[in-house]
Amino acid sequence: MLAPALRGAYRFRRDDRGVTAVEFGILALPFFTLIAAILETSLIFFASQILDSSVQDASRVIRTGQLQTGAAANNTLAAFRTRICNNLYNMMTCANVKVKVSVVANFGSATVTYPIQTGNDCTTTNGVKTCNWTITESYAPGAGGDVVLIQAYYKWPTIVRLPGFNLQDQVDGTRLLGAVRVFRNEPFGCSNCT
């Protein structure tokens, strides 16, 4: 009576049909998590590089005086933000790009502060913690020979949020991307420079 049960158990143990499906089921979650993490890391680095390149290109028209000596309608914060956004390939919402252009006394006095509230400065509403922007957007491209500091920031939304692998650095689940340029304007003549 015991012999048929033992033969059945032996056949069951030696049967390897469906092994691939079971192994795939075990390995699928870590595999696809790793692929998603790689893709998100690559996308964040790509977006950061796109923002940096766009700020570099847009700052050139300030450095050469093209904005300051051109039409007054093009020499505004909105026009400069649009110039940055034109090179972002629709990867970022233009209205959410924070820009500050300011004249500084010299290269040594060009200081960059963290643009978002931190720690106890953040507010909590209905259990959701929010840290607001501390950067005050402004636009002062300066005259010829002035040292100009340009800062641009964007909160990039993250998707993969796993323990041990989490690219968010903000409490709202985003990662802060930033680009900063400091340069001396070329010597150009300008009657309405600020």
State pTM to two decimals: 0.81
Tokens at 171, concatenated: 């409490």
Rounded-to-integer distance, Cα 149 and Cα 101, Å: 6
Tens-of-pLDDT digits for all 194 residues of the chain? Answer: 677 777 776 666 766 777 788 888 889 988 888 898 899 999 999 999 999 999 999 999 999 988 888 776 678 899 999 999 999 999 999 999 999 999 999 999 999 989 988 777 778 778 777 888 889 999 999 988 999 999 999 999 988 877 767 788 888 888 999 999 999 999 887 655 65
Q: Per-residue b/e over 121-151, b at no fewer than 16 CB within 10 Å? A: eeeeeeeeeebeeebeeebebbbbebbbbbb
User: Domain extents for the chain?
Assistant: 19-184
